Structure 1
Amino acid sequence: MKSEIVEPTIKACLAEIHAKLKAAEQVAKAAHACAEAGGVTEAVRVSMDIEQLVYEAGRLHDAAPLPARMERD
């Protein structure tokens, strides 16, 4: 893979990881607010959205170093 493609690709992956984790943070804050207001059941329901965001961030994290590895080969 050409080096002019590798760096922007890795940066894009890292930016997307950041966006996913920020979204997960917002969901966690909303769930916490629900729980603090006495809506524990609602808090758990809201918090379920965190799982997909963290999963996607994890897969992006797995993929981020791949372009650099391909460049070396």
Structure 2
Amino acid sequence: MDAQTIEPAIKACLVEIHAKLKEASQIAKAAQACAEAGSLAEAVHVSMDIEQLIYEIGRLHDAVCLLGRLSRS
């Protein structure tokens, strides 16, 4: 694959990773607030929304790594 194809794809993935990390951070902050308010069950429930984001971030990172390897070959 050529750099003209790979570079925009890597950049798009990194933008999406950043957005998902920001969303996960906001969820974690909300879960922390629940915990600090004494509602541990609610904190755990809220924090569970992070799981899917972490999965998606991991797959996007895998794609970035693969594209990076392809650009070097």
Return the TM-score normalized by structure 1.
0.89
Q: How does 1:18-57 map to 2 (within 5 A)?
A: 18-57=18-57
CA shift digits 1:46-70 (9 cap, x unpaired) = 0000111011101100111223433
Note the alpha carbon deviations across 1:3-39, whole angstroms, 9 max, x for none.
1111110011111111111111000000000111111
**Alignment partners' CA distance in 2, 1:38 and 1:50:** 20
Alpha-carbon distance between aligned partners in 1 of 2:21 and 2:30, rounded to the nearest angstrom: 14
Count of aligned pairs: 73
Task: Name the CA distance, whole Å, in 2 between partners of 1:24 and 1:17.
Answer: 10
2:38 is paired with a residue whose SS is coil
Deviation of residue 71 (structure 1)?
4.0
Distance 1:6 1:33 in 2: 41
> How many angstroms apart in 2 are the aligned matches of 1:27 and 1:69?
33
Aligned partners of 1:14 and 1:60: how far apart in 2?
Answer: 8
Gaps of 5+ in 2: none
Q: Distance in 1 between matches of 2:65 and 2:40?
A: 39
